[in-house]
Amino acid sequence: MGNRGMEELIPLVNKLQDAFSSIGQSCHLDLPQIAVVGGQSAGKSSVLENFVGRDFLPRGSGIVTRRPLILQLIFSKTEYAEFLHCKSKKFTDFDEVRQEIEAETDRVTGTNKGISPVPINLRVYSPHVLNLTLIDLPGITKVPVGDQPQDIEFQIRDMILQFISRESSLILAVTPANMDLANSDALKMAKEVDPQGLRTIGNKLLPLRRGYIGVVNRSQKDIDGKKDIRAALAAERKFFLSHPAYRHMAERMGTPHLQRVLNQQLTNHIRESLPSLRSKLQSQLLSLEKEVEEYKNFRPDDPARKTKALLQMVQQFGVDFEKRIEGSGDQVDTLELSGGARINRIFHERFPFELVKMEFDEKDLRREISYAIKNIHGVRTGLFTPDLAFEAIVKKQVVKLKEPCLKCVDLVIQELINTVRQCTSKLGSYPRLREETERIVTTHIREREGKTKDQILLLIDIELSYINTNHEDFIGFANAQQRNTQINKKRAIPNQVIRRGWLTINNISIMKGGSKEYWFVLTAESLSWYKDEEEKEKKYMLPLDNLKIRDVEKGFMSTKHIFAIFNTEQRNVYKDLRQIELACDSQEDVDSWKASFLRAGVYPEKDQVGLNGNGVRSDPRDGNGVRSEPRDGNGVRNGPRDGNGVRNGPRDGNGALE
C-alpha cells in the first residue's frame, strides 16, 4: 500500500483486541473490525478458508459456528496458527486447528449445540494472506436442533446484532448466488443497523456503498472429496475469465480481490476511526489512572473508607431485599420460586387451602344448632329461631379462623427471614457484619410479627363482637332465593378449564407398581388426562362428583411428592383402584394443584391428622415439611394437657415426650 504506518494499523488493533480478551474484559472501545454474517450453509466458512488457503474450520449439519471466531490474518514468511487461550503452542497442522476450535467451543457451550458470545481468538500467519481481521459469527437459523433451546433463533440474532450494531464494525454479508438478494437474511439484518448501506459489503438490487463481490466456493462434493483449495481458487479464476457475464469484470471478482478489498477497506476504516478511538482510549486511561492514584494512597484503617464501604453494603442489602420481594431485579431465578413469589403463593394458594381444611361435619353442626336453640328457649317452646342461637353458632365458626390466619403469618415470616439470609450472602467476606445485619433485620421482623398477630386477633374479635345480618353477603330469608339463582347461573360454565399441566400417576402403569407421566386438564366438572399436551389422545375422564384429596407420604427411595384423589362413597376411582396417586416434583407443585382442585370444588379429606392412603399417620406440615401443631390465640403451640396444664402424650421409658 506504500505506507508502512497504514500497514501496521491492523496488527495494532489486533494487539488491543488480544489485550482485552486476555484479561477477560469486553472491549468497550468499539475497535474497528469486519463481522461476517450469513445464513446457515451460506458459504461463510468457505470464504474464510479460501482467504487462508487451508481447511481449518469445523463443518457439519446445523449450527457449526457456536461461538464468535476472531480470525486475525497476518502476512508472514512462515505458515502456522496460534490461539490466544494456548498461545505457547504453534499449530502447523490445520486439522489440529479445527479440532482445537471444536474442543474450545464445547468447553464453554457444551455438546448440546448451545451458543455463547465468548469469542475464540485465532491468529494465522501465512505468506498467502493479507493483514486482515474478521469475526466469524454463528449462521442465522430458524429451527432449533438437538437440545437447543426453542429461542435459539433469537439468541443468535441478539449475538449478531451486538457485533454489527457498532458504528465501528464493517459488515461482510455473505449470500448464496442462487438466492434472491431481497430475501437474504444477512442483508436484512445488515439493513436494520446500517439502513444507508455505508458499512455493508455485499457478496444491484440493494444499494451498498461498498459494493458486491462475487466468489466461487467449493461445492459440498468438492469438500467431501478433499479438493485442494489452491485448485479451487484456480477454478474460480478460470470461471470468471471465461463466463460471458463476468469476463469483462473478472479483475473485480474472486476471493483474492475480495481479500484485497477487505484489507484496504478495513485499513481505511481504522484510519477514519483513529481520532475517536484515541479520544476514548485517552479518556479511559485518565479514568483508570485516577482510580489507581486513589489506591496508591489507600489506607485500610481509614475510618472514612470503612464507613463508606459499610454504608454501600448495607444499602445494597436493602436494594436486594426490596427487589426479591417486589419481583424486579437483574438476576431472575428461573429454577424455583423465591421471595415475593413464595409469599404470593402463601396468600393465594396455601392460605385458602388451610381455610377449606376446616370443613365442618354437617351432622355435628345440625346437632349443635339444635342444642343451642333448645338451651336458649329453656323451659319455653319457641316459635322462631332465636338470634342468640344463630350468633352462638356463627361465632364458634368464626373463632376457627384464628389458627389458619396465624399460621399464614408464620409462613410469611419464615419466607421473609429466608430472603434476608439470601440477601446477606453477599456480605460473606464480613462474617460479623453479616451476622449483625441478619440479627437486626430478623429482630425487627419478629417485632412486626407480634404486632401483625395482635391486629389479626383484634380483627377477628371485632367480627365476633357484632354479626352484621344486613350485609349484602349475608343470606337471609329475603335474598336466599335470589342468591341461589345467581349461584346456579355461575355454575352454567362446566367446561371452564381451571388448570393444565404434567402429573405422574404413581400407582398405574403397564407393570404393576410403576408410574407414568400424563398431561392433565382440570375443569369445573372433570379431571381428564391425555398422552401429551396436544390433547389429541384422551386416556380417561374422571367426573369430580364425590371426590376428595388426601396426602400420601412419599416412598423411601422416591424424590416425588404425592397426593391422592379418592371417592368418598368407597367406590373405585379408576378401574380397580380406590384412589389415584398423583406425583409432583416439589411440595410447592402439590400445594398449587391442591389450590386448583379447591377451585373445582374438590376438598381435602376432613381428618388430615389421621391415616393416609397407605395407612401411615400423616400430621399436617407447613411448606417446609415441618410438622405444625394447633396453636392458641397467641400463636403458642397447644396440644393435649393434663390437669396441671402440662402437655401429655405418649412417652418413652424415661418419661420424655415421644
DSSP per-residue codes, 477-512: TTTHHHHHHHHHHHTT-TT-EEEEEEEEETT-SSST
Mean pLDDT confidence for 237-243: 85
Round to the nearest angstrom and report the end-to-end CA distance of the chain.
Answer: 92
Mean pLDDT lowest for which of 169-178, 331-340, 406-415, 479-488? Answer: 479-488
pLDDT at 24: 53
Range with the largest mean pLDDT of 139-148, 378-387, 453-462: 453-462
pLDDT band at 522 (very low <50, low <70, confident <90, very high): very high
Q: What does the alpha-carbon distance between residue 257 and residue 201 come to, in Å, rounded to a whole number?
A: 13
pLDDT value for 61:
62
Residue 40 clears pLDDT 80, i.e. is over it: no
- Which H helix or E strand runs over 281? helix 255-296
* pLDDT tier, 144 (very low <50, low <70, confident <90, very high otherwise): low
Three-class DSSP category at 107: helix
C-alpha–C-alpha distance, residues 185 and 174, integer Å: 9
How wide is the angle at C-alpha 391 spanned by C-alphas 389 and 395, nearest 5°?
Answer: 125
In one letter, which amino acid is 103? A
Alpha helices (H) along 297-361: 303-326, 340-345, 351-356
What average pLDDT does the chain have?
76
DSSP string covering 433-465 = HHHHHHHHHHHHHHHHHHHHHHHHHHHHHHHHH
The pLDDT of residue 619 is: 45
297-327 core/surface letters (b: 16 or more CB in 10 A; e: else): eeeeeeeeeeeeeeeebeeebeebbebbbee
Least confident range from 262-276, 353-367, 595-609: namely 353-367
Q: How far is CA 354 from CA 8, 273, 413, 621, in A?
A: 75, 68, 17, 11
Using the CB atoms, write b or e for 70-85: b if 16+ within 10 Å.
bbbbbbeeebbbbbbe
pLDDT of res. 519:
92
For 416-473, the pLDDT digits (tens) are 998 898 888 888 888 888 889 899 999 999 999 989 999 999 988 888 887 776 666 6
Cell of 330: 437483574
If one compares 253 and 384, the residue with the highest pLDDT of the two is: 253
Indicate if the pLDDT at residue 531 is higher than 50: yes
Q: Would you place residue 614 in the very low, low, confident or very high pLDDT band (cuts 50, 70, 90)?
A: very low
At 2 the pLDDT is 43
Q: Could you tell me if 541 and 528 are in contact, meaning their C-beta atoms sit under 8 angstroms apart?
A: yes
Between CA 656 and CA 658 the distance in angstroms is 6
Please give the Cα distance from 226 to 229 (Å, whole number).
9
- Which residue's C-alpha cell is 410447592? 588
Percent of the chain having pLDDT more than 70? 75
Q: What is the rounded distance in angstroms from the CA atom of residue 134 to the CA atom of residue 171?
A: 10
What is residue 612's predicted lDDT score, i.e. its pLDDT?
40
Q: Which of 102-116, 573-587, 629-643 has the lowest mean pLDDT?
A: 629-643
Q: Are 186 and 38 in contact (CB under 8 A)?
A: yes
Structure-model confidence comparison of residues 627 and 514, the more confident one: 514
Regarding predicted confidence, which is higher, 617 or 280?
Answer: 280
pLDDT for position 1: 41
Query: Closest Cα to residue 113, out of 141, 151, 144, 158?
Result: 144
Report residue 201's pLDDT band, with 50, 70 and 90 as the boundaries. confident
Beta bridge partners of 657: 651
- Mean pLDDT to the nearest integer, 292-303: 71
For residue 472, the model assigns a pLDDT of 65
Between 613 and 527, residue with greater pLDDT = 527
Q: Cα 519 to the chain's mean position, in Å?
A: 22
User: How many angstroms separate the CA atoms of 130 and 7, rounded?
Assistant: 10
What was the pLDDT predicted at 204?
Answer: 44
Which of these, 62, 57, 28, lies nearest to 44 by C-alpha position? Answer: 57
Region of residue 473 (left: phi > 0; alpha: psi -120 to 50; beta: else):
alpha
User: Does position 520 have pLDDT exceeding 90, yes or no?
Assistant: yes
Query: What is the pLDDT, as a whole number, of residue 509?
Result: 59
Q: How is residue 43 written as a grid cell?
A: 458459504
